[in-house]
Structures are given as structure tokens and as C-alpha cells.
Structure 1
Amino acid sequence: MSQHKVILLLGSNLGEQKKNIETALEKLKEGGIEILKISEFLTSEPVEFASSNIFCNIATIIFTHLSPIQLLDFVKSIEFEMGRINDSKATGGYTDRVIDIDIVKYNDLKFISERLEIPHKKHLFEREFSKVLLKNLSE
């Protein structure tokens, strides 16, 4: 099995945000994911929905044997296990969340399905906090 280099973005705006992100990173490792690099923590306002809860975010580079859909299923299981019930794809909108894990890039793959689009164009080109985190990873 080959290793795939993937960039994930993790965010939380409920509870102890940094602790939530650290817990999610631990769960990724427990699932056999190798974490290569983690950006600095960055706080940001919610994007595309209104909330008084500020987000804490990081970007991370990982190695995984999982396919894009297997990885999506795995990160969704972590979100669910940590208490995230409503997925934005299912509800059609964004809400506050304990943890959010997005697949931003997967090697140089271009992949589109009903559940997943790689690369994640909003994080790469539209969202300022994402661009700052991704730049931080490359330094």
C-alpha cells in the first residue's frame, strides 16, 4: 500500500476548542494516520454562518494508506464520536461544532463526488484563515 500525503484542516468553536483539536489529532494517530506537521493555532470568526463563538483552527500534513472516501469516512467517524451530529452537507448549512475535519488536498488528486471534493477550493482560495494556516504549514 502506498502512502498518500494529505492536508487536513481542523476547527472547533464549541467547548475547549484547542483540546477538541488535540483530541481529534490523537484519534487520527490512533487510526494509523501519521502526522508530519501541524500549523500554529489560529482563531477566526465563523464563515458562512452567524455565531458568537470564535473558531480555533489548525492545518496539518498527514500520511495515510486510506483512499479519499475511506479517509472521509474515518474523519466523519471522529467528528461523530466527539459529538458532532449535524454535518453541513446533510443540513445544507453551517452551524457551531465541537470538531470539523476537512480534507483540503490529497496528493495532487482532483476528485469530485457527491460527498467530497478534492482539492477543497473554498479552503485553498476563498477563506482567509485557511490560506494563513496553509502558508504556515509550508514555512
Structure 2
Amino acid sequence: MSQHEVILLLGSNLGDGKKNIEEALEKIKEGGNEMLKFSVFLTSEPVEFVSSNIFCNIATIIRTHLSPIQLLDFVKSIEFEMGRINDSKVSGGYSDRIIDIDIVKYDDLNFISERLEIPHKKHLFEREFSRVLLNDFIK
């Protein structure tokens, strides 16, 4: 079974954001994934929608045996289990969320499907908070 190095970005702006992220990280680990590295926690304003709720964010590098789509299904199941109902791809826009888990990079794979794009270009090139979090991870 081959292992893949993946960068995930997690965010939360409902309830205790740091606690929500820590819970999601524990669920990722419990799913058989190895946690390799973490960024610092960072707070940021919402991007591409208006809200008075500030985000708590973190980036992590994991090692996983899951394929990109299997990993997407796995992180979406964590989001759902934690109470996230509206996915931005489904609803067509962003809103407050208890947890958001994005796959930013998966090995050196370039992958595009209807549900997933790797690398995650918005996090790599457009969003300032993402660039800060990913600074030590991507050279």
C-alpha cells in the first residue's frame, strides 16, 4: 500500500474554532493517517463572503494511503459528522462553517475532477492567510 504526502488546510469560524480544528485533526489521525507537521494557528477574516465570525486556521502535512477521491470523501465525512451541512461546491457560495478541510497538495499530483482540484490554486496563490500558513510547507 503506497503512502502519499498531503497538505491539508483546516478552518473554523463557528463556536470554538481551535477546539473544532483539534477535533477534526484527531479524527483525521484516527482514520489511519500519520500526522507529520503542523503550522501555527492563525486567525483571519472570512474570504469571499461577509461574516462577523473570525476564522481559526491551521495547515498540516499528513501521510495517507487514501487516493485523492477517497481522501476527499473521508474529510467530507468528518465535516458532516462535526455538523457541517452546506458544502460550498454544492451551495455555490461560502458561509460560516464549524469545520472546513481542504486538500491543498497531494504529492506532486495535478488532478482535476468535478469535485476536486489539486493543487488547490486559491490556497496556493490567492489567499493571503493560506500563503502565511503554507510558507514553511511549500518551497
Q: What band does the TM-score fall into relative to the shorter chain?
A: over 0.9
The answer on whether the counterparts of 1:40 and 1:136 sit within 8 Å (CA) in structure 2 is no
Task: Give distance in 2, aligned partners of 1:10 and 1:17.
Answer: 10
Equivalent pairs counted in the alignment come to: 139
So what's the TM-score if we normalise by structure 2? 0.98
Amino acid at match of 2:30: E
Could you say which residue in structure 2 is the equivalent of 1:15?
Answer: 15
Pairing of 1:74-85 with structure 2 (within 5 A)? 74-85=74-85
What are structure 1's unaligned runs of at least 5 residues? none
Residue 72 of structure 1 pairs with residue 72 of structure 2: yes
SS in 2 for 1:101: strand
So what's the TM-score if we normalise by structure 1? 0.98
Could you say which residue in structure 2 is the equivalent of 1:52?
Answer: 52
1:19-77 deviation digits (Å, cap 9, x = unpaired): 00000000001100101000000000000000000000000000000000000000000
Could you say which residue in structure 2 is the equivalent of 1:105?
Answer: 105
Cα distance, 1:136 vs structure 2: 3.7
Among all aligned residue pairs of Structure 1 and Structure 2, give the percentage whose two residues are the same amino acid: 83
Task: Give distance in 1, aligned partners of 2:113 and 2:81.
Answer: 24
Task: Give distance in 1, aligned partners of 2:137 and 2:108.
Answer: 17
**Which runs of structure 1 show a deviation greater than 3 angstroms over 4 or more consecutive aligned residues?**
136-139
Q: CA RMSD in A?
A: 1.0
What are structure 2's unaligned runs of at least 5 residues? none
Could you say which residue in structure 1 is the equivalent of 2:30?
Answer: 30
Task: Give distance in 2, aligned partners of 1:110 and 1:3.
Answer: 17
Task: Give distance in 1, aligned partners of 2:136 and 2:36.
Answer: 14
SS in 2 for 1:122: helix
